[in-house]
Amino acid sequence: MDVLDEKANGGPSMPAMEINEVVSVRDQEAFAAKHLPDMGYDVKDFKVFTWKLGSWKKLDKKLTSPDFECGGHKWRILLFPFGNSNAPPNDTVSVYLDYAEPKKAPEGWHACAQFALVISNIHDPTVFTVSHAHHRFIAEECDWGFTRFAELKKLFSKQEGYARPTIEDDAADISVFVRVLEDPTGVLWHNFVNYDSKKETGFVGLKNQGATCYMNSLLQSFFCTRYFRKAVYQIPTEDDHPTESVALALQRVFYHLQTSDHPVGTTELTKSFGWKSLDSFLQHDVQEFNRVLQDKLESKMKGTKAEGAIAKLFVGKMKSFIKCVNVDFESTRLEEFNDIQLNVKGMKNLHDSFKDYVAVETLEGENKYQAEGLGLQDAKKGIIFESFPPVLHLQLKRFEYDVNRDAMVKINDRHEFPFEIDLAEFLDPSADRSQPWVYKLHGVLVHSGDLHGGHYFALIKPDRETRWLKFDDDRVTPVTDKEVLEENYGGEALNGVHPSLQQRNQARTVKRFTNAYMLVYIREAAMDEVLPPFTEEDTPPHLKRRLEEERLQMEAKKREREEQHLFLTAKVITDDTFARHEGFDLATFEDKNWPPSDLPSFRVLKTETYKTFKSRVAQHFHHPESQIRLWVLVNRQNKTVRPDTPIPENEPTLTVEVIRNNMAARQSDLRLYLDVIPDASRAEIPPQSIMVFLKHFDTSKQTLFGAGKVYMLKSNKVGDLVPAINERMRWTPGTPIKLYEEIKPGMIELMKPKLSFAQSEIQDGDVICFQVDLPENEVHDIDTQGLQSTPIGYYDFLQNRVMIIFRPKVDEGDPEFNLVLSKKHNYDTMSQKAGEYLRHDPIKLRFTTTHAQNGTPKSILKRSLNQSIAEIMSPYYATSTVILYERLDVSIVELETKRSLKVVWTGIHNKEEAAHPFLLPKTSSVHDLAENLAKKVTLTPTGTGKIRIFEISKDGKNQKEFTGSEMIGNIPDPVELYAEEIPREELEADDSDKVIGVFHFSKDLMRTHGVPFKFVVKRGEKFADTKKRLQARLGVSDRDLAKYRFALILASTFKQPSYIEDEDTIYDHQFAPEDVLGLDHVDKSGKTRVGAGEKAIVIRG
């Protein structure tokens, strides 16, 4: 029974006690208007059905009403007069709207219904109890309603303010008011269980990697711009690798979006961008991502058939001008644009935003324009468009810098945009108007949430014929026009309720945090060229071939996985693998601290006979079948894995699975030892002999490796091994040897040479370790070096060994390396060994542990604790641990009382010259830091000798200067500090001068770079002269300066930058505290900042 708690669906069941007049149940239209809120959907059909019931107390526990028809579906009321089995018995009424005969409905049926269930008095229809709900009725959920509709005792008794009870004379009317609603998209109130995007829409979604939904929404928009998709396909990528080539990775994503039935992954694409670290997946600005991706693709298209495609699609032209009113003089500059940033704040709709963008400013009064050779003139200043591109990307400025908060904020104001807009009025009168400049909405990129997170999705109309679709990560669904426009305007919304209706369930207005931030319009005249039909020939053959091969490989792997239960894996130990093995047993299989041995493996059908399998093994290792036999390894009770029994050769029907089940129980794999008998004529091993494996512990090399096997009679003495070992190792006969039995990890015992193998309980597959018996003085020397003089200590090291991976924490030029250490070693041993590897004083190495899941820094290790490796690794359960290291210039002991800081010195010419590290007592002041810096840098001989230390504001536009008295220990960590020499001009500025902030940016105010600085503005000085002083301050050449543009950035308005002409006098501007001068020029540092404290997006591949 599918139920809704009535409180969640229109409030608790209760008599309708309204201040205004009570509406009768029989006044159907008025009752529905009052008790069924308008949900904003079109109504397909409306019906009221009433079911009269008498003898209530004698009714069955469950009954259904006669059927009635509404909206092409049959319905009925389902009633439990004394509550259904889920509710406490006999004290409530349960009532539901039930879809009659769902099994007779066509497959995949659904009906969206809003309904109110009412129990009313048979004599007085103004006495009733009502509850309403809405639901998508489907085969799996074909009834919906209220388990606790009302308490029986309340229905049988008079309630306050009413003359009669609801159930009177043991009878009542049960009515249902049903609105079947139109579902134009087919997904209204869908739960999306088993939803198939491809089947429903013809499109598939993209998987979200974490915070890549902003990227997914733009990629879907690009994919649907078919001209763009074709251009990307024309980039030659036959010889590229997908994780290193953006072009190939994007081609592959597009191809999968075309052909796949399931959501497509983007991991290859982000890897091709060079995004490997966690911070790559922070939510970036889509505009920034769009520009960087377009730049990257444009460079890849050069010299190919696709060259110029991006400019043709996305690039328009605009002209900024200053035109004198009273004389014939005009100064103009022509620029290209890839997108237009439009203000949302204070704008009612898109048309207003365009009008604001091209609004003409009048320069008059004190603000007159100095026209070349014509003196001060009244003038008009503005921007006009020369042309718009076929695909127009409009960025709505939903994210703005708030001066008061020194932070970015999101603007959720209402801002309307149309399905069609004519942009002709914003074009220069001389623009080509041979075809209309009418644009049709093609895509809406939406952000839901606030500045610090949220979700992105795209609404796209792929072509003239296809309906609007919502691309929300891995799901694609049809949407209505209202969902495209109204729901993404932002502003305040009535919570799903029509504003004109004042019913009981009127919702309060709520601020909407879901709104459009980027619009894609396509020029109607270019629609057929931008969105041409996509044909099979448009996909590069090499891409189809390559991906088809991969698909077949994937299917083969899938088949292999599905058939895995029919196979088992046989791993074979050989004398060669044993000779390379350093550890317990003959190979490592399951050791949580050490990776398993790399052994030859065979995938074997479980039903394969041993005869066939043995033949395969013999062929693989190039041995005649008669010269090999295979031993099965078993897990002994003492936790060792040893050869136990040779597989019998005389059973022709013996299968591999039977061998595994009968001879090696409790193992999923079959582990085998390949026993090669060199002389076929001596194939028979004497019946009383045992197979013993030997290992050599080399004290000088501190190694322990396999040294083959021997067959010995059980009656032989253990000491009989010594001559055999001397011969095998080619040592002088009579070399004294010590023998140890490898019983199990942690139990390695010296053997008595005079006992027999039987007395020593040696059996097939046992391991004996030998070493040269050294004189005492040599043993002493080895021990004093901290090395092992016997295998017992070495086996202990092996039992506790772990692989530690050391990675540089900061300097990417430092190497990554591995060290094998014992869990019993301590911090000092670790730092000493790391120091030896790095050739760096161990006391000047600092180590930081990492999080096992993602390798990010966790906590700095304190040397004073001198923890063991086991404690440092805790709670690691992996075979290796990652530890980050830093090379320091000072001892880590000093660091505990001192603060390490790095200051970037920009000198007198605002250039990042060098970063100077300092280690000063935490009680030092910023003034002390400046004094220490002065000793390291070269100040101008005739300069002020004064240094300013500062941070950069989050938006990259201002300095945040320190007073000098702050204690460096109190400066929050992490911090980026900068310092500059204070120019004489600034120090000697008088009251008539203005000191303003200056910052660097590239085209877009959000793309700041370099370091902001202070600059003196002088009264009456024309900007041509100001520019010369700026040039001197920056130390740039005339040639470079010619590429600079200068703009006044006003904190109070959110307008585009106001570019300055040579004749302007910026002193006359009434500077607000946050108003700054912006230098617009190309960033050559590669350190662009985007927005407030965000990292710039970089795409490498």
Please spell the DSSP secondary structure of 662-675, one letter per residue: HHSTT-SSEEEEEE
| DSSP designation for 1068 | G
Q: Which residue positions in the chain have pLDDT lower than 70?
A: 1-20, 85-90, 210-213, 274-287, 401-408, 451-453, 493-512, 665, 679-685, 811-812, 875-880, 1051-1056, 1084-1101
Q: How many CB atoms lie within 10 A of CB 395?
A: 20
Task: Give the integer Cα–Cα distance in Å for 544 and 238.
Answer: 11
Element (H, E) at 409: strand 407-410
Global pTM exceeds 0.85? no
The whole-number pLDDT of residue 1086 equals 52
Q: Is 455 a catalytic residue?
A: yes
Instruction: Tokens 């389902």: give the residue.
Output: 78
How far from 982 is each of 223, 244, 336, 935, CA to CA, in Å? 53, 46, 38, 16
Q: Is 351 a catalytic residue?
A: no
Residue 181 DSSP SS3? strand
The whole-number pLDDT of residue 162 equals 83
**Catalytic residue from among 70, 112, 213, 769:** 213
Query: Residues 702, 706, 707, CA angle at the centre, nearest 5°?
Result: 105
Pair type for strands 438-448 and 514-523:
antiparallel
Do residues 582 and 703 lie in contact, with contact meaning Cβ atoms separated by under 8 Å?
yes
- Short-list 401, 486, 493, 394, CA closest to 445: 394
Six-digit token string for 567: 């196979």
Query: Residues 755, 758, 763, CA angle at the centre, nearest 5°?
Result: 125
Backbone angles phi, psi at 1026, to 5 degrees: -60, -40
Give the start-end residues of each E strand in 100-206: 111-120, 128-137, 143-151, 172-181
Six-digit token string for 117: 């269930």
The whole-number pLDDT of residue 322 equals 86
Which alpha helices (DSSP H) does 626-763 contain, by range? 656-663, 721-729
- Short-list 436, 457, 459, 446, CA closest to 527: 436
Task: Give the integer Cα–Cα distance in Å for 771 and 754.
Answer: 17
Task: Give the integer Cα–Cα distance in Å for 1012 and 995.
Answer: 13
Six-digit token string for 81: 């007069």
pLDDT one-digit tens code per residue, 335-390: 889 889 898 888 999 999 999 999 988 888 777 877 777 888 888 888 899 999 99
Query: Residues 119, 120, 126, CA angle at the centre, nearest 5°?
Result: 135
Task: Give the integer Cα–Cα distance in Å for 926 and 914.
Answer: 19
Rounded to a whole number of angstroms, the CA Rg of the chain reads 41
Judge residue 198's burial from the number of C-beta atoms within 10 Å of its C-beta, 0-12 exposed, 13-18 middle, 19 or more buried: middle
Six-digit token string for 157: 């008794």
How far from 67 is each of 2, 49, 77, 149, 1078, CA to CA, in Å? 20, 9, 8, 21, 74
CA terminus-to-terminus distance, the chain = 55
The whole-number pLDDT of residue 1052 equals 59
Pair type for strands 898-905 and 977-981:
parallel
Task: Give the integer Cα–Cα distance in Å for 697 and 730.
Answer: 15
Do residues 571 and 601 lie in contact, with contact meaning Cβ atoms separated by under 8 Å?
yes
Instruction: Tokens 């579902």: give the residue.
Output: 183
**Catalytic residue from among 455, 542, 623, 927:** 455
The whole-number pLDDT of residue 283 equals 44
Do residues 798 and 583 lie in contact, with contact meaning Cβ atoms separated by under 8 Å?
yes
